A and B are shown apart, each in its own frame.
Chain A
Amino acid sequence: MTAPATVETGARPLLSVENVDVVLGRGWRANHVLSDVSLKIWPGEIVGLVGETGSGKTTLARTVVGLVRPRDGRVVYDGTETSRLRGRALRSERRQGHVQLVFQDPLRSLDPDLTVEQIVGEGLRIRGGLDGEEIKARVTDALGKVGLDATLLSRTPGQISGGQRQRVSIARALATDPGLLLCDEPVSALDASNRNYILRLLGDLRDSLNLPIVIISHDLSSLAGIADRVVVLYRGTIIEDGPVNQVFSAPRHPYTALLMASAPSVKHDRPLSIHQLRRTAADPDLRPDLLAASACVFAPRCPFAIDACAVQPALEPVPAAAGGRWSAACHRHEEWPALARERAAVAAPR
């Protein structure tokens, strides 16, 4: 259960997001939510997509499934350029059920007037070709995969608990035998025990079905247990992407380190404290070119910014990483850890 999934290096990625740019809203309200985002997902891996509010992680998921059109770039699933599909072709591709999205809030994404059986079986009914008995069997099977039994079939979402609703939402996504699952903050609203249960469940699905899963979260520590890879998003740009063990033992981007240092824990041993990773009053004022749109997205918050950071660094591979699968977008990714250790570990008294 905790063994890392085997990822075939050199195999073709199942999903490829290429240089995607997304702008939401128009005119003066236009918000450049994603900038030049590229990402590949291989079969059988769990990828943790981490970012805070405004990072664009939900928009990225919605772009992958086609609810949002990218202004630039494309999304390719198993050889098909899904971002280009429209109308009937798009519906037809969606009926195949290859890529499924589990929404964040089951209270909103489950129709309150339908029964669990109708909800989970909806995709199969739309696809057609199966009679009532077969659909019921597949629905019961999908519910079984998430640990729910058939007594729930005739209940409506209002009659089951929050944790069960989340599992019904996952069962709906599994009913069509997807090739890729995207889960938008599946555990954020749950307490620790339920959270671990669902994450374990997703890990089991990866192991038993070789199903790649992208888990979107704002909480790093909950991913540490099951993710194989972690991708960190900040203000619409991917700033780090690498194997979970390596990123968590020595992150290459200061924002990743800040996320780790901010996470509350029941034990105190942290290599770096948040005070070492944040700008303080002691740091020199920000130069205006570091605040421009072309500068590094993290520069305004970064205590290690230098002149070169006036240009957004590209996502470059980190040398000496496993199979070249680790990249970070930081001009100073070699030097900043030493600088951080020299900074004061506790806040100066006011």
Chain B
Amino acid sequence: MNGNPPPDQVLGLEDLHVTVHHGAATAVSGVTLSVHTGEIVGMVGESGSGKTLTCRAALGELPAGCAVSQGTISFETNNVTDLSRRGWERLHGTGIGAVFQDPSSYLNPSLSVGSQLTEVLRVKQRLPRREAHRKAIELFTVVGLRQPERVFHQVPAELSGGMLQRVMIAIAISCGPRLLIADEATTALDVTIQAEIIELLRDLRDQRGLAVLFVSHDLAVIRELCDRVVVFYAGEVVESGPVEEIIERPRHPYTQALLQVASVGDFSRRELRVIPGQPPQVGAHISGCRFAERCPAAIDACRAAAIDLVRLGPRHQSRCVRANDPELADVLETELAAR
């Protein structure tokens, strides 16, 4: 992408490569995606597919030994790829907020949750104590905590997982970020609570124009919440596009496989499908398509050379040589049914 990105793009990743183990292996290669204001983009893939590392790169929080070796990260109109530590600290909270899978490990167990929220407000926005308290109660109400005054004084141990995750969301949005990154934020929650948090994220998007990058290994949850989805496999983006389109007609065999194993809401007794094989090891050298060894529709062209993204629509792409092949869908259906 050259020139300035469109003004309402909040996050842009361009050809991102992330290496791990001090450069020994490349765990994320060539990831390009963007999130715009008021849009919820989902990232889906198995564990180890590189989606979490991509998130961490977008937050400037790569673990020790990992680095961005290629590509750019931009937040609104600024290139933040080589941002300093201080730069990221300024960005965290005010530009980008984040919630993760286990809220209790991000909260101090001996302090009240209210005081932890006011601490953020007082440090980042220099609010005086009374003002911070008022704003905290308001935020607790926004995230759907009943009896916010009471919750304010409770410590994390007294709150359920769903309530703690709401507290985390309150902290994450407290300083008015334009982007919220949610990394497996609902994975550990009960299903009724998960549904409520999904509703909450949708409301935040509607009321505040918040852009959300939502990471999950569960395609069904992505389906419920997201407008667009980016499918990860072995460190690469294999398909991306509008959720409805992709679910209706996936144009990559891996996406199709994910659909086969995902939960379908009709609770009928159906065949439990499995994706045979294992994803490749991080850093394994594979010529051609990384999914080819598990793919029921692989042909010679798949293993010959690296596969580029094929444009299938204004915002729909797939990394498959047979993406435009009308017989692909039939082949996948028969092959996967047989396994």
Contacts and interface: CB of A to CB of B under 8 A. Distances in A.
B190 A218 contact: yes
Interface string B190-204: 111111001100010
A151 interface: no
Contact of A197 (B198, B224, B267, B274): B274
Given A199-B272, A244-B269, A259 B191 contact: yes
B231 to A, nearest CB: 13
B274 A196 contact: yes
Contact of A220 (B46, B199, B258, B267): B267
B112 to A, nearest CB: 21
B270 interface: yes
A266 B247 contact: yes
Interface in B218-260: 218-221, 223-224, 247, 257-259
Contacts of A268: 265
A193 B195 contact: no
B219 A266 contact: yes
Interface in B269-291: 269-275
Nearest to A274: B195
Given A192-B218, A197-B274, A259 B192 contact: yes
A199 B273 CA distance: 10
Contacts of A347: 199
Contacts of B304: none
Contacts of B325: none
B264 interface: yes
Contacts of A220: 191, 267
Interface stretch (A107-115, A134-142, A222-230): A222-230
A192 B262 contact: yes
A318 B224 CA distance: 33
A265 interface: yes
Nearest to A268: B265
B220 to A, nearest CB: 4
A53 B164 CA distance: 14
Nearest to A245: B269
A265 B46 contact: no
Query: Which interface residue of B160, B191, B247, B266 has the most chain A CB atoms within 10 A?
Result: B191
Contact of A193 (B261, B266, B270): B261
B191 A267 contact: no
A265 B190 CA distance: 15
A307 interface: no
A93 to B, nearest CB: 34
Interface in A42-79: 52-54
B263 interface: yes
B90 to A, nearest CB: 32
Query: Which interface residue of B266, B268, B272 has the most chain A CB atoms within 10 A?
Result: B272
A262 interface: yes
B46 A191 contact: yes
A266 B269 contact: no
B203 A350 contact: yes
A225 B161 contact: no
B36 interface: no
- In order of increasing CB-CB distance, the 9 nearest A-B pairs are A265-B265, A264-B220, A262-B195, A221-B263, A248-B267, A52-B190, A196-B272, A192-B261, A193-B275
Interface of A: 1-2, 4, 52-54, 191-193, 195-197, 199-200, 203, 218-222, 224-226, 244-245, 248-249, 258-270, 274, 347, 350
6 contacts: A192-B258, A193-B273, A193-B274, A222-B263, A263-B265, A264-B263
Interface of B: 46-47, 160-161, 190-195, 198-199, 203, 207, 217-221, 223-224, 247, 257-259, 261-275
